[in-house]
Structure 1
């Protein structure tokens, strides 16, 4: 049995990564293997991994309404630690996470 992987594009950095449907968006993002990807509680309670899904579908587990309101969720916001891809998708990191990942664009980072 082959496991399907989806292509995930990060609009802030023009990076792409693959993510399985049983893997959170944050878990897949961490496989990029670089600094700047903020990881907090991994349980949907801290809000550091907030992203906006610009296209594609996700399946989400429970998220704290302190960090993603019902209105924001309707606009495509999710916590990457609680969202699983259901198709190829494009996302954009929300301001708190964006500051962390974009800061490393200006710094050279080694490629394995």
Structure 2
């Protein structure tokens, strides 16, 4: 069954099968900087906080996500599979790659200051 994953930081969403990791689904966004090397929970780069929804969490390194953080919804995207639609925030080292590129520029209607007109 496919579930909708929403990245709150960018308002992007993508489908993710309940048998694949949230990171694997995120990779289909095609954005550079989404880490796909480790995929085993050892590097900690893909840290996210799930703010809504339920998921299955596989074993994660306590060096990257403590038991206390897990209780607050923190997880490694490579180690969780959705059981429902999820909303998440990117909090790991990939935040700049995922969130920085999605912000629109001033020409695209972003919030950067436009030059003054006289």
TM-score grouping bracket, smaller chain normalisation: 0.7 to 0.9
Alpha-carbon shift at residue 83 of structure 1 (Å)? 0.3
TM-score, reference length from structure 2: 0.83
Aligned positions, number: 105
TM-score, reference length from structure 1: 0.87
Unaligned runs of 5+ in 1: none
Correspondence 1:36-75 to 2 at 5 A: 36-75=33-72
Q: 1:60 to 1:95 in 2, by over 3 A?
A: closer
Unaligned runs of 5+ in 2: 106-118
* Greater Cα radius of gyration, structure 1 or 2: 2
Runs of 4+ in 1 over 4 A off after TM superposition: none
Residue 98 (structure 1) aligns with: 95
The answer to whether residue 29 in structure 2 is matched with residue 19 in structure 1 is no
In 2, Cα distance between equivalents of 1:16 and 1:69: 27
In 2, Cα distance between equivalents of 1:83 and 1:105: 23
Alpha-carbon shift at residue 105 of structure 1 (Å)? 2.1
RMSD: 1.5
Alpha-carbon shift at residue 106 of structure 1 (Å)? 4.3
